[in-house]
Amino acid sequence: MKAEDLKGKSQDELQKALMDARKAQFNARLQRAGGQLENTASLRKMRRDIARVKTQMNAKTEAATAKPAKAPAKKAAKKA
């Protein structure tokens, strides 16, 4: 899962992707505990995929609730 792919998804699609990734991570952890997981690096990849999805969800939430930035106030010129 790449960050570029996530940018085009809606909030609902991101939520579904997050749930799917968490279920896959849970199953992989069970396999690791049972000694069945051969590729232990997949756990690290799953954890990072979850972080990517959550980051994109937070970015979309921030963008929706962000207020427009105020222009900085100009300072008055000093009189000599």
Entry pTM: 0.76
**DSSP track, 3-33:** HHHHHTS-HHHHHHHHHHHHHHHHHHHHHHH
Q: What is the CATH number of the domain that holds 24?
A: 1.10.287.310
Are 43 and 28 contacting, i.e. CB atoms less than 8 angstroms apart? yes
Any idea how long the chain is? 80
The number of distinct structural domains making up the chain is: 1
Q: List, for residues 7-65, the tens digit of each pLDDT value.
A: 889 999 999 999 999 999 999 999 999 999 999 999 999 999 999 999 999 999 988 88
* Residue-range definition of the domain harbouring residue 27: 3-65
Question: Residue 76: inside a domain, yes or no?
Answer: no
Strand, coil or helix: what is 65?
helix
Taking a C-beta distance cutoff of 8 angstroms, is the pair 20, 45 a contact? Answer: no
